[in-house]
Amino acid sequence: MSGHSKWANIKHKKGREDAKRGKIFTRLIKEITIAARIGGGDESANPRLRTAIAAGKAANMPADNIKRAIMKGTGELEGVSYEEATYEGYGPGGVAIIVECLTDNRNRTTPEIRHLFGKYNGNLGENGSVSWMFNRKGYITIEKEKIDEEKLFDIVVENGGEDVQDEGETWGVYTDVENFEKVREALEKAGVEMQEASLAMIPTTTARVEGKKLQSVMKLLDAFEEHDDVQNVWSNMDFDEAELEE
């Protein structure tokens, strides 16, 4: 899981910068909207919407923004219609990459994602070309100062979670998809402030990259993160974090 964890930590640092530009809110609003459109506006009966709202609250999104996003999803307010699109491919060094998008125009998004893969020496593949190397898991991050490891581990295990990992500045909590909501709600009831709570694609194997290949992969992942239609980027890269600080 090291590749995911390292990239996740880098994403958190980037996230603080993105939030200043409103990109985090934009992505969360899209997710809330489509979750409400697919499963309805009642979060008690819509697990995906509950997760999206929890992510919005974790990012300090105003309640009015969340409410409007739900109403756009249910059709109570006029809004853009988004559809989900997932792209799979390889980056430099054989790094497997999954790009999850919400788009209002797939005919625009697909060639743009293909262009980014090619621009940074990667290749867009067919559906299923790399997803077999990943498992979808519940993933929760918590700043270490918010809770000690032993107490966190007890809550996670008692509610069906799989693992707690030390990920530098944060604890990483992993669950299967079925128990994700149960673990998240237990942490919420315990008053634990979560930095992120979402379903993630966790690699089962990793690809080690270094030097110029690492820099190229990072540029590719950054380009995806900056794309307006991209919601999530997952990769199986493993690397020495010290290289990024040089």
Per-residue pLDDT tens over the stretch 3-23: 455 555 455 445 545 555 577
Topology (CATH level 3) of domain 2-74: Arc Repressor Mutant, subunit A (1.10.10)
pTM, 2 dp: 0.83
- Apex 11 CA angle, 229 and 21, nearest 5: 60
> For position 245, what pLDDT does the model report?
62
Residue numbers of the chain with a pLDDT score lower than 70: 1-21, 244-246
> For position 190, what pLDDT does the model report?
94
Are β-strands 83-90 and 196-203 bridged in parallel, bridged antiparallel, or unpaired? Answer: unpaired
Tokens at 63, concatenated:
């309640």
> For position 81, what pLDDT does the model report?
86
DSSP H helical ranges for the chain? 2-20, 23-39, 47-58, 63-74, 106-119, 149-158, 177-189, 211-226, 241-244
> For position 168, what pLDDT does the model report?
84
3-state helix vs strand vs coil in the chain, percent to 5: 50, 25, 25
Q: Measured between alpha carbons, how far is residue 89 from residues 53, 61, 65, 97, 113 in Å?
A: 30, 33, 34, 5, 10
> For position 6, what pLDDT does the model report?
52
Are β-strands 83-90 and 123-124 bridged in parallel, bridged antiparallel, or unpaired? Answer: antiparallel
Tokens at 158, concatenated:
């008692």
> For position 3, what pLDDT does the model report?
45
Asked if 175 and 162 count as a contact pair (C-beta separation under 8 A), the reply is yes
Tell me the β-bridge partners of 198.
139
